[in-house]
Amino acid sequence: MPTPHYGQPRYRVIADELRQRIKGGVIPPGGLLPTESVLTAEFRASRGTIRQAIAVLRDEHLVVTEHGRGTYVNPHQHESRPGDGRETETRQRQVPADPEIAALFAVEAGTTLVEQQDVTRINGAVEAVVRAYRLRREKQ
C-alpha cells in the first residue's frame, strides 16, 4: 500500500519477500527473477527501491545480476553430495494463452503471454517442470 508505516524500510520488506521466494523454491537456482519493471508493478515501488532490495540479495550472494540480462538466483547456494546433481534449466518464451489461463488473466484466448519454464533435474532425471505465466508488459 502507498503508506505502510514502517518499522522497516520498504526495500528490506521487498528483499525479505524475494528471499522467501528463492529459499522456498518458487524461484529455483539458476532461475530468473522478475525484471525490475515487473517488480516495480508488483510491489508498487519505484525502481530505485526495487534495485535497493535486489542489492541486498546481491550482497548476500543469493543472486547475481547481469547487465541487459536480468538477475539470476545463484545456483551455487548449497552444494549437495557429489553425484546428487540437482540442476535447473530455465527458458523464457512467448506463448498464446490457453482458454483457461486467458480467463484467469481476463484476456482473450490466444493473447500472447510470457512463459518462463524451469526444468529441474535430479541426477539427470526430470523431477519437475514449472511454468510461470505472466502478461506481457506493455509500455509503462
Q: Are 111 and 127 contacting, i.e. CB atoms less than 8 angstroms apart?
A: no
Q: Which stretch binds DNA (CB under 7 A): 4-12, 23-31, 100-108, 117-125?
A: 4-12
Q: In the Cβ-directed half-sphere of 38, how many Cα atoms lie within 13 Å?
A: 14
Q: Are 94 and 136 contacting, i.e. CB atoms less than 8 angstroms apart?
A: yes
- Could you say which residues in the range 96-135 bind DNA, by CB under 7 A? none
How far is it, in rounded angstroms, from Cα 130 to Cα 11? 28
**Which partner in a copy of itself, DNA, none is near 61 (CB below 5 to 8 A by kind)?**
none
Residue 84 sits in the site that holds a copy of itself (CB under 8 A): yes
Residues that bind a copy of itself (CB under 8 A): 1-3, 26, 42, 64-67, 82, 84-86, 101, 104-106, 119, 122, 125-134
